[in-house]
């Protein structure tokens, strides 16, 4: 599902041209479902598109496609939550972790600049971990991860484990499914996400070795900025990575541990990054 809205662009105002409009992203969602679930899911997606805190869309597009290949089955990333009370503390933690994973200072700087930009994208930016060069083919749209899902059994297990931590909600589950697919892409070293929802201030950082680390207070309430960054290992294999992320069907059929809340020091010193 894709929900968007047209706004008069600053560019066209500035040039006093005939008024053009720019499309802004309101919300999106995707999943892999059995045929008989489709009408229920489509209704849920329409409800979600029309109730988003980013605004009322004037266009909602739902695309339904039959899978043409068997999905790859993967395990979810383990889940942990950072103990943090402020955006300053959360930002510091993220920078430390990214450095430890091997992301350069330049790439970290580019990533934060993109996430602080007012212009939100539908998809993610791809950054080379060494140089910080942006390499997504379409810089307005970004790379949109689609064709991802979770089996019924795995979802039940996940709900039970997240409930013990008090975080059993659709937002965490959907983000974990996405982050697990992204981390299973061999070119991706790490992912950083800040929601563009002004009411949701918990972001995350994820990687194969680190798992999925929820980062509370990554931004202040009311802030509409956000986005996703995928840090890539090297410049070759980019097309392959984009094809995997956008097209390869992947289903979570096994659930790793949900470990609770840890301080920045505990995470940085105890994890093999």
Give min distance, CB of 178 to ligand AMP, in A: 6
With CA atoms as reference, report the closest residue to 146 among 266, 64, 90, 60: 64
Q: Shortest Cβ contact with ligand AMP: which residue?
A: 195
Give min distance, CB of 174 to ligand AMP, in A: 8
Strands 227-232 and 124-128: parallel
Q: Which of 147, 179, 226, 231 binds ligand AMP (CB under 6 A)?
A: 226
Interface with ligand AMP, residue 227, by CB under 6 A = yes
Are the C-beta atoms of residues 194 and 115 closer than 8 Å to each other? yes
**Total residues at interface with ligand AMP (CB under 6 A):** 18
Nearest-angstrom CA–CA distance, 101 and 104: 9
Q: Which of 108, 216, 228, 241 binds ligand AMP (CB under 6 A)?
A: 228
Tell me the per-residue interface mask from 172 to 211 with ligand AMP, x by CB under 6 A, - otherwise: ------x--------------x-xxx--------------
Interface with ligand AMP, residue 26, by CB under 6 A = no
Applying CB under 6 A, the span of 59-67, 118-126, 162-170, 210-218 interacting with ligand AMP comes to: 118-126
Torsion sign (Cα): 256, 259, 261, 267: negative
**For 201, what's the count of Cα atoms within 13 Å in the CB-facing half-sphere?**
16
Give min distance, CB of 119 to ligand AMP, in A: 10
Nearest-angstrom CA–CA distance, 186 and 240: 10
Q: Which residues pair with 74 in a beta bridge?
A: 252
Q: Which is nearer to ligand AMP, 63 or 272 (CB)?
A: 63
Produce one character per residue of 119-147: b if its CB has 16 or more CB atoms within 10 Å, e if not.
ebbbbbbbbbbbebebbbeeeeebbbbbb
Q: Residue numbers of the site for ligand AMP (CB under 6 A)? A: 28, 30, 120-124, 142, 144-145, 178, 193, 195-197, 226-228
């Amino acid at each position: 599902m894709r929900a968007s809205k047209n706004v008069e662009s600053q560019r066209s105002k500035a040039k006093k041209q005939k008024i053009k409009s720019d499309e802004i992203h309101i919300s999106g969602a995707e999943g892999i479902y059995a045929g008989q679930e489709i009408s229920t899911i489509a209704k849920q997606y329409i409800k979600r598109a029309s109730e988003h805190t980013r605004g009322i869309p004037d266009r909602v597009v739902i695309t339904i496609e039959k899978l043409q290949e068997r999905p790859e089955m993967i395990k979810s990333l383990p889940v942990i939550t950072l103990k943090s009370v402020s955006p300053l503390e959360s930002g510091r933690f993220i920078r430390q972790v990214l450095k430890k994973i091997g992301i350069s200072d330049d790439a970290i700087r580019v990533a934060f600049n993109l996430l602080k930009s007012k212009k939100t994208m539908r998809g993610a930016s791809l950054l080379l971990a060494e140089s910080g060069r942006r390499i997504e083919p379409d810089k307005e749209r970004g790379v949109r991860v689609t064709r991802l899902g979770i089996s019924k059994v795995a979802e039940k297990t996940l709900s039970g484990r997240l409930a013990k931590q008090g975080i059993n909600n659709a937002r965490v589950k959907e983000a974990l499914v996405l982050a697990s697919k992204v981390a299973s892409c061999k070119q991706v070293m790490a992912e950083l996400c800040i929601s563009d929802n002004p009411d949701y201030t918990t972001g995350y950082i994820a990687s194969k070795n680190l798992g999925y680390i929820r980062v509370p207070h990554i931004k202040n309430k009311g802030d509409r900025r956000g986005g996703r960054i995928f840090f890539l290992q090297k410049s070759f294999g980019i097309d392959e990575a984009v094809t995997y992320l956008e097209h390869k069907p992947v289903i979570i059929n096994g659930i790793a541990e949900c470990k609770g809340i840890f301080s920045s020091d505990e995470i940085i010193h105890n994890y093999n990054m």
